Structures are given as C-alpha cells and as structure tokens.
Structure 1
Amino acid sequence: MSFTGGAQALTVTQSAVSRHIGSLEGLIGKPLFERDPAGLKLTTAGKTLLPVVSKSLDRMEYALNGIREDGIESRPLRLHIPPTLLYQSAMPLLRDFHREHPDIRIDVVTSNATGEPRTDVDMAIVFDRPKVDEKVADLLRLVRVAPLCSPATAAAAEGRSLEQFLRENDLLHVRLEGEPRGLLWTAYADQQRLDLDTSRGMAFDTSITAVRYAQVATGVVLADIDIFAQEIAAGRLVMPYDRASADGFGYYLKTNVEDLADPAIVLLRDWIIRHFHHQRIDEPLSGE
C-alpha cells in the first residue's frame, strides 16, 4: 500500500511505479487505489484484481523455479476445510487423494468462518447457506441437525417432551461469524414449534468443541447428525428425540472459474465431489 515501498522492492523509481499504475488503471478504465494524504487504499476493482495477480505471480514463480532446477515442480494447492468437517470427515479424503496422487501437493487451511475464508486459497469447502456469486459452487451436502447430548443427560429425557427436555437443560451454541449468538437454536425452535429461551447456555467457536463439551459435561448441542454419525452409533452421543431438521446450511465447494483450466484443481475438485457422494447418508437416523 505504498508506491515508494513498491518502487524499493522492484528497484525502480517511485515515479515509474506511479506511471505504470496509472497506465494499468487507464487500461481497465477504473482506479485501483484511493489516493489521499492518509495513504493508499484499494478500491473495489483493486480488491478484485489483487488475489488474481498474486495467484498468477505465484504460479509463474513455481514454474520458473522448476525450469531452473530442470524439472517442473507443481505448486501446492491451497484447500480450505472448516475445522469440524476436517476432523470428522475429510481426513480420509485427504489421505486417499495423497496416496493416489502423491505428486500433487496440498496445503490445508482451516478456519471457523461462515462462508469463504479471508485467506487466499485455490479451493474452499465452506459452511454456508446457498449464495450466487462469480465462483463455481458445488453442493457437497445439506446439513441435518438435531439435539444431541451425553447418555447421562439423555436419561433425563424419559417421559418428557422435547420442549420440556430442552427447557430443563443448558443449550450449547455454535457461533456463526456475523450472525446472532442463538441463530441455530432459534431456527430449530421455530421449525419444531417449540417455545424456548434460546439465549441461555454456553457458546463455542466450532461444532466439534461444543459436541466434546456435551460428551463430558451437561447440556444439549444442536449438531450435524451425519458428521457425528459414528459417535451416535457408538453411543458416545445420544439423539433422544427423532426430530432432525434441515436449517438451510450446507457444505459447498467453491472454485474460481479461471482455475478450472488447471488439471490439478479439476482432479481435486472431482475427487472431493465423489468422496462426498459416496459418504452421503440416505436414510435418516432414528432416535434412541
């Protein structure tokens, strides 16, 4: 964010950098920077162009390094996976892909952001509601949630309605960035026609953390019954009521349109889609 700093990095004059930026802005017909006494700021056009330019320069660097070393070495593909999905479901996907294609390097990035991560990645599996944007979005699967808890907590459900049970136990929340704290429980209560105070209880950054707390302590977590299917089948988690619900969220694979010309990205994209297709659970779980 400094023409002077850019000039020093490129070993040219500051006026040369300024002229080249001006020429580029003239070429595209829009300013890339807001210039004011406080410094430079990227415009919307600049923010759009920056990741594309950065990625292109990275690819050029890897290709040039490979040529210098008499061998073309592929650059790592940066793949974002939400933490709960990574720990509960995606590890076999990464293992099997690496075994089948050891020449394709993958850098895995994880964050608990809802929607696309802030870091620059080549592909991103995101937890979000459906959105229309400039990227290719492949639906991997929709999320089904239900109240889950430890066996000890579930013992108190006997003879009680779902509404009574939830009123008598702490509600464990999973925070979604930019959303109200109790959004998921409120949506579930509305769908199930329950009269609940959804503001009470502890909150966690990830579903896996909230579930682990529910397993060792008290409280009821609203969690993805497919991701935690093994824990439910083994009895480490209990779904006391057969009241699963779709809350509108799902896991989507987001890819830049221009990156579909990269064979490695196409291969990984196809692998991820097929992995989730084979993992899909068609029959709903029954309550315990």
Structure 2
Amino acid sequence: MRFSPWPARNKNPMELTQIKETRIFGRAGIFRPGGLPRTGATTIGPNGLINRRWLPLNALRAFEAVGRYLSFTAGAQALTVTQSAMSRHVSSLEDLIGKPLFERSASGLKLTPAGEVLLPVVSKCLDRMEQTLNVVRNQDMESRPLRVHIPPSLLYQTALPLIHGFRREHPEIRIDVSTSNATGAPPGNLDMAIVFDRPNVGDMVTDLLWMVRVAPLCSPATWEQHKGKSLEEFLNSAELLHVKLDNEPRGLLWSSYADQQRLTLNCTDGLAFDTAFSAVRYAIGASGVVLADIDMFGPEIAAGNLVMPYDAVAGDGYGYYLKLHAEDLSDPAIYLFREWIIRHFARQRGQEETAEAEHKAQIMAKA
C-alpha cells in the first residue's frame, strides 16, 4: 500500500499522525462533541457509538498490517513505520473498542475473537479503497486497452459471456482479446494470458482456473452405430478426432488417456484439429469420437448434441491457468479483471461440484 508523501522532516505520516492524535484527540484519537477532548478520552458522543467522522484510520491500518502478518515487526516493515508506532496504534484501537485484538502464545502472535471478527472487514474495506483510488487516479487507463490472451476453445465456450459481464460492470476499461492454440505462455505484448498447460513453476503470478476432465464424446448417431461395444472396442472401431498441441506428438492426448484407462489403442489415425472447439463441432455434425473436457462442453451434452457413452472420465494433467507478471497487479484494470475471472471460475467450479454430487446421488438411488 502506498502512502502520500509527508513533507515535514522526512517523517512517516503514521508516526507524525500518532503524535498529533495523541496531543489533540487523546490516546484513542477520539474527538469529543462540544470541544477538544480531555487527555485519554475514549468516547465519541452521548450515545457512546463510533461514527465515520472520527474513525481512527491509521490505527485500523496498523491493526490490519499486524493481523495480516501476525507480527508487529513485519507489519511495521509493510507500512514503513517503527514497531513502537504500530504498537501505539493497535493499543489505541484496543482502548477504543474495549477489547484486546491480539494475544501472545507459545507459537507466536494470534488474533483474539474480537480481532478475528474485525480483521476481514478492515482488510476488505482497505482493499476496496485502494482499488477505487487507483481507478480514479489512473483515469488515463481508457487510452490503452487491456491486452488479454485466451485459448480459442475456452474463449468460445466460456469466456465470451465473462468478458461481456466485465465490460458491463466496467465500461471504462477497453479490452483487446487475442487467441491461439499454443500451450504455455504465448509470446507478445500482453497484460495477462489464460493458458492451456500443465502445472509448472515460473516467475509469473499463476492462478489455476480449472483442471481439465476428459472423456470420449460423440454424436448420438455415431453412438447408435457402436452400441454394445466395450470402451476399447468402440475407440478402435470409431474414427478418433485429435486436438493438436504445439510441439507435441499428434496422438498425445489419446495416448495418455489410453494409458490411464489401460487400453490398447491405435492413437495415430484419424483427423486432427487445431482446437477442441473445432473437433467437437465436427463430432456433432459428422462422425468420429473426440476426447474433450466434459465441463467445458457440458452444455452440448445436456442438450443431447453429444453423448458420453462410458463413465470413463480422466484427468490428462492439463488445465487452464491465468498468468501475469506480479508488478502488473498495480495496474487497476489488470487487478480488476483478474479478480473478476477468479471469482467467475470459482463460482463455476462450485456449481459443477454440486451438479456432480447430485448426479452421483441419483445413480446411487437407482442402484
């Protein structure tokens, strides 16, 4: 969190404000109606309630920093003030509410019940103020669009409504979307990218949006031609549809699936497509069986355009990850879009888990 420059003698504003509050408002920094308070005053008005007119903002910032790190030393470093100043601010807040916020134990500092109630509220309020101040301060963000890369299948199946919703909420932020079927972080001048990749360690901020769960999918007409066959017989007699991955063998996804399911399968024949979206469209309109994400293409399954003949779902190790550079999070447009995407996919995962649990319960009830 950044603080405004303080001109007097290069002192930190929190430390100087502490001196000012102590001299004028008393230890808790509370103003008494009707005139200056007496030293040590801890009430705000006749009703004894705190209102926003004299909120102890520096004390709240200090409390949030200490609570975030569970350390007065680390909290002081985060706000670039002395540890004694942090202690005074937290103590003044404790005096104000009449309850301790921290307690020391053998394992270190921990929040009291009052601290556990207060911390998430203060953190959320400070985060929101910081974001909004940056948005207002950076009004020129309209002059440069947010550059986002999204894989084509994810873009067409899931991300378009997400982008539309974000634009409706934040019309001042323009977005340029690029797409390619590359795995890993794509080259180019981008602000952030959703990538189709396997887990890896790097120097970028990486958020898992979802892990892919695949199964053989085909049209109802294709399945009618192969009913009664085992999974292995079906896959060896139907035309396999492949999705190409950059710098990977043609049949990698089918080969990996066959290994997991312990199948003997010829993974080299069949048509190959640049995207899962194209392969699925071919399977629906023509023939063949595609190994596709059952969550991404759930709407096609629910509509009856695709069928999943076998309950043989597998994870192929790939997933969709949001990647960006840590320093770019200071850009309010990037920060807001990242938060929007993470919330969307977290909500979607919750809905999918609920639907899957209900589906399993129905199967158990029929058994």
Is 1:271 matched up with 2:340?
A: yes
The AA in structure 2 aligned to 1:227 is M
Is 1:72 matched up with 2:143?
A: no
Q: 1:72 & 1:217 partners in 2: Cα distance?
A: 50
Task: Work out whether residues 141 and 333 of structure 2, in 8 Å CA contact, stay in contact via their aligned partners in 1.
Answer: no
Aligned-pair CA distance for 1:120: 1.7
The AA in structure 2 aligned to 1:259 is D
Greater alpha carbon shift after TM alignment, 156-165 vs 185-194:
156-165
Q: 1:213 & 1:158 partners in 2: Cα distance?
A: 20
Task: Work out whether residues 156 and 165 of structure 1, in 8 Å CA contact, stay in contact via their aligned partners in 2.
Answer: no
Task: Work out whether residues 149 and 190 of structure 2, in 8 Å CA contact, stay in contact via their aligned partners in 1.
Answer: yes
Superposition misfits of 4+ residues, deviation over 6 angstroms: none
Q: 2:321 & 2:218 partners in 1: Cα distance?
A: 27
Q: What per-residue deviation string (whole Å, max 9, x for no partner) do you get for residues 209-236 of structure 1?
A: 0111111111100001111000000100
Q: 1:78 & 1:126 partners in 2: Cα distance?
A: 14
Q: 1:225 & 1:240 partners in 2: Cα distance?
A: 12
Name the structure 1 match of 2:224. 155
Q: Which has the higher contact order (CA 8 A, sep 6+)?
A: 1
Task: Work out whether residues 144 and 245 of structure 1, in 8 Å CA contact, stay in contact via their aligned partners in 2.
Answer: yes
Is 1:261 matched up with 2:315?
A: no
Q: What per-residue deviation string (whole Å, max 9, x for no partner) do you get for residues 168-214 of structure 1?
A: 10110000001110000000000000010111101000001011111
Summarize the Cα distance change of 1:271–1:73 in structure 2 as closer, same or farther, 3 Å threshold: closer
Q: What per-residue deviation string (whole Å, max 9, x for no partner) do you get for residues 117-170 of structure 1?
A: 122210000000011111000000000000000101111342211001111101
Q: 1:259 & 1:162 partners in 2: Cα distance?
A: 48
Q: 1:70-219 to 2 correspondence within 5 Å? A: 72-74=140-142, 75-219=144-288
Q: 1:157 & 1:186 partners in 2: Cα distance?
A: 21
Q: What per-residue deviation string (whole Å, max 9, x for no partner) do you get for residues 33-64 of structure 1?
A: xxxxxxxxxxxxxxxxxxxxxxxxxxxxxxxx
Q: TM-score, normalised by structure 1?
A: 0.73
Name the structure 2 match of 1:33. none
Is 1:252 matched up with 2:321?
A: yes
Task: Work out whether residues 157 and 240 of structure 1, in 8 Å CA contact, stay in contact via their aligned partners in 2.
Answer: no
Structure 2 stretches lacking a partner, 5+ long: 1-138
Aligned-pair CA distance for 1:73: 4.7
Greater alpha carbon shift after TM alignment, 151-160 vs 180-189:
151-160
Counting matched residue pairs gives 217
Task: Work out whether residues 219 and 287 of structure 2, in 8 Å CA contact, stay in contact via their aligned partners in 1.
Answer: yes
Q: TM-score, normalised by structure 2?
A: 0.58
**Rg: which structure is higher?**
2
Q: How big is the alpha-carbon RMSD for the aligned residues of Structure 1 and Structure 2?
A: 1.5
Q: 1:236-251 to 2 correspondence within 5 Å? A: 236-251=305-320
Q: 2:251 & 2:320 partners in 1: Cα distance?
A: 20
Q: 1:241 & 1:114 partners in 2: Cα distance?
A: 28
Aligned-pair CA distance for 1:72: 2.9
Structure 1 stretches lacking a partner, 5+ long: 1-70
Q: Give identity over the alignment, percent.
A: 64
Task: Work out whether residues 85 and 227 of structure 1, in 8 Å CA contact, stay in contact via their aligned partners in 2.
Answer: yes
